[in-house]
Amino acid sequence: MTTTRTIPVAHLVISLIVLVLTPVANVQACENSSVSVEGAVVRVFTSRSLVQDADCRWTAWIERSLGSVADISGRFPVDRVTIFLDRSRGSQPVAYGWVRRNNPPEVHLRVFPAATLDDLLDDWRGYHEFAHLLLPFVGNRDIWFAEGLASYYQHFLQARAGVIDSEQSWQRLVAGFQRGLDDPAGRGESLDSLSPKMWSERAFRRVYWTGAAFFLRVDYRLRLASDGEHTLDTTLAAFQDCCMSGDGSRANRYKSRWDAEAMVAELGKLSLSEIWQEEYQRTIEQLAEPDFGEAGEYLGLRIQSGQIVMDTDRRYRDRRKSLALGEGFDPVPAESGQAALIDELEEVSGFLVDRGPAP
């Protein structure tokens, strides 16, 4: 079944702008202070300390970041969003941020006043917060699900925005998975047990990146099982169509109360239910640590002595690129591709290649 997306007429109207700057004397305001993204009305409020936007860097950064999220389905996931920028105390371009699920939802970001546009675009935190709007909140108990989705996408969105290339996005993603593996907090606990205690145990990295690996496995398996017809991108797009807006009986469920189990059931209905269910059960029951499953072999990722290694062979880089950029998919399953390569090696070398798992 091909997933088709109809974009309501209202959404075809390119969004509005609204940038509200606190007026300050002797400061040249940005001349084109609009933020335009497909399908959403965007309002941006900046604190007085950030008013010097003469080079439009705040608006340019937000527009490009929101645009990368909108590219996942063709339009931004929520009809309206309000963004609040305030200065941070440190020199990190984007110090931190959070989302408030108000109506409309709010994204709050703390930024370094002297950060350049390049600095802001190169920081993953803005993309991460905006990616949270792809789905309704699933509750604090299932925080792994919300943070896993945003963490899985944050660097891919940088690649889709043209800020870094796909392989760089994978290097950053893998560095995140490594931090999750190395996190001493929560080691040895199941995700089901650890996720509700993430704050008290300060097991942020372990929980975030275990969740991100769940979405990696789902994305890989959907693509493989459907010959590329279903992906995580297409599933999120279908969810937007059915449940985030519009007039149907399932519409506007953005404001409903969800948990991860209900969300998995809904996303499964829109793509391949068995895959979502299997990966969900496996993720919550097993130890909280990033696990690539069969996706690791297919994508050239393996763990050696606790370190994640990426195979730089072109075949693997191309496969990784298709996930990063949301492109087409080479549907050769990992095992058969690997077996063919091993047979070829044996023929050429005359030596038996070790078929066992990587040490």
Which residues in this chain contact Zn ion in the complex, by CB under 5 A?
A: 147, 150
Here the tokens at position 1 are 């079944």
Using alpha carbons only, what angle is made at residue 243 by residues 159 and 207, rounded to the nearest 5 degrees? 50
- Closer residue to Zn ion (CB): 132 or 217: 132
Is residue 114 within 8 Å of 95, Cβ to Cβ? no
- Closer residue to Zn ion (CB): 98 or 327: 98
Q: How far is the CB of 146 from Zn ion (least distance, A)?
A: 7
Q: How far is the CB of 161 from Zn ion (least distance, A)?
A: 18
The dihedral sign for the CA sequence 155, 34, 84, 114: positive
- Residue 333 carries which DSSP code? -
- Closer residue to Zn ion (CB): 150 or 157: 150
- Closer residue to Zn ion (CB): 151 or 231: 151
**Residue 81 β-bridge partners:** 42
User: CA-CA distance, 160 to 153, in Å (whole number)?
Assistant: 10
- Closer residue to Zn ion (CB): 78 or 299: 78
Per-residue b or e along 166-205, where b marks 16 or more CB atoms closer than 10 Å to that residue's CB? bbebbebbbebbbebbebebbeebebbebbbbbeebebbb
Output phi, psi for 345, to 5 deg.
-60, -45
- Closer residue to Zn ion (CB): 125 or 253: 125
Is residue 169 within 8 Å of 324, Cβ to Cβ? yes
Q: 162: phi > 0 → left, psi -120 to 50 → alpha, else beta; which?
A: left
Q: How far is the CB of 132 from Zn ion (least distance, A)?
A: 6
Q: How far is the CB of 208 from Zn ion (least distance, A)?
A: 7
CB atoms within 10 A of CB 91: 11
Q: How far is the CB of 95 from Zn ion (least distance, A)?
A: 14
- Closer residue to Zn ion (CB): 137 or 280: 137
Number of residue whose CB is nearest Zn ion:
150
- Closer residue to Zn ion (CB): 54 or 175: 175
The residue behind tokens 């690649």 is 159
Query: 3-state DSSP call for residue 46?
Result: strand
Is residue 155 within 8 Å of 172, Cβ to Cβ? yes
Q: Rg of the chain over CA atoms, in angstroms?
A: 21
Q: How far is the CB of 4 from Zn ion (least distance, A)?
A: 31
Q: How far is the CB of 260 from Zn ion (least distance, A)?
A: 15
- Closer residue to Zn ion (CB): 169 or 226: 169
CB atoms within 10 A of CB 129: 21
- Residue 28 carries which DSSP code? P
Q: How far is the CB of 105 from Zn ion (least distance, A)?
A: 13
Q: How far is the CB of 16 from Zn ion (least distance, A)?
A: 27
